[in-house]
Structure 1
Amino acid sequence: MTVVDSVLARVPEPLRRTLLKHRELLKFAIVGTTTFVIDNGIWYLLKFTVLSEKPVTAKVIAIIVATIVSYVLNREWSFRTRGGRERTHEATLFFLISGVGVALNSAPLYISRYALQLEEPHVSRLVQEIADFTSGSIIGMLLAMFFRFWAFRRWVFPDELGHKRRHTPPPDDPIEELGHS
């Protein structure tokens, strides 16, 4: 039994039905959680070591790495029944939209640091770090997440092209299987 199977088996029936009804959103959220950890792990590693003077640059690098992971996971799992474009075209659209997502994700951190001056020596180190996390990892991430989910479904993995991929089921998708049982 997979992790998703075991989690969904413990969810009460009405909520399970809702989760299955919105399985793309659930999968997107799981991928997002994974890439959130990757993004923040890399960001803090860079921010507290080699890019300590350039937190926005560190965040952009972290987002780019997380975006690459996101493409693979979203294409092969979250939106696997959608799309159907040539892979190069699909990847180009994905990364163009993700580029807008990088800007949306980075803008609040940039504003926090440089417009509002929520950085040392203007504020304490603690205030700076709280402002960085709030602006870069919460506000920016939420803005980018809502934009990307909408844009991926609309342009990268449109449903009208999904019939090409839907007719060849991938091996063992636990959320799909639970939705049909």
Structure 2
Amino acid sequence: MPSPTQRALALVPERVRPLLVRHRKLVKFLLVGGTCFVLTMVVNFALKLTVLKEKPVIALTIATVLATVVSYALNRQWAFRANGRQREAVLFFVVSGLAILVNDAPLALSRYVFDLREPDVSHFGQEVADFLSGMIVGTLLAMVFRYWAMKRWVFLPDTPPAPAGRPEPERVP
């Protein structure tokens, strides 16, 4: 019986399959990211439309923090298949904290520097600006940063320790 991955690959055009297989970590990372993007969007809008109407940056931050926790679990177990070191978890949340700042920056700029908010623009204009700056631009910038940082510092491949020292070659008199 084929695995879920094999069944999914069977749906992809044959000439694209080698590319997906070669970049499978990136593909998995993007699938996790897409799932967390939807989660972020749902939580963000739920908060913005209810308890945090006047605090869009806080709503986005809370939504992003929640999605970050889900992202850690999915990336660790599936995308990067890491073996659960404490150092890894700490670095993941440090990188994710920085990525939340990267994600929030375009929305904060849109709202508080460019004044794309009521009464300077219509309510519809404000919501479009919030979505484009926070959910699209912010998410794309944070995604690029996260992928680079996760590969570089967090989910490192297991490598055997290097030998302590090379033995000196025997000298022949």
What TM-score bracket applies, with the shorter chain setting the length? 0.7 to 0.9
Out of 128, 131, 151, the position equivalent to 1:130 is 128
Rg comparison, structure with higher value: 2
The whole-number CA distance in structure 2 between the counterparts of 1:68 and 1:162 is: 27
Give secondary structure in 2 for the equivalent of 1:13.
Answer: coil
Aligned counterparts, 1:81-120, within 5 A: 83-84=82-83, 87-120=85-118
Relative to the length of structure 1, the TM-score reads: 0.83
Aligned counterparts, 1:56-67, within 5 A: 56-67=57-68
Deviations, residues 59-109 of structure 1 (Å, cap 9, x unaligned): 0000000000000000000001xx54x622111000000011000000000
Deviations, residues 3-36 of structure 1 (Å, cap 9, x unaligned): 5443321211120110010000000000000000
The amino acid across from 2:68 in the alignment is T
Compared CA separation, residues 25 and 162, structure 1 to 2 (3 A): farther
Aligned counterparts, 1:164-175, within 5 A: none
Higher relative contact order (CA 8 A, sep 6+): 1
CA drift at 1:158: 1.5
Match of residue 53 from structure 2? 52
Q: Say whether residues 1:19 and 2:17 are aligned partners.
A: no
CA drift at 1:140: 0.4
Relative to the length of structure 2, the TM-score reads: 0.87
Compared CA separation, residues 2 and 118, structure 1 to 2 (3 A): farther
Give secondary structure in 1 for the equivalent of 2:132.
Answer: helix
Match of residue 75 from structure 2? 74
Deviations, residues 137-181 of structure 1 (Å, cap 9, x unaligned): 11000110001001000100112x267xxxxxxxxxxxxxxxxxx
The whole-number CA distance in structure 2 between the counterparts of 1:6 and 1:158 is: 28
The amino acid across from 1:145 in the alignment is M
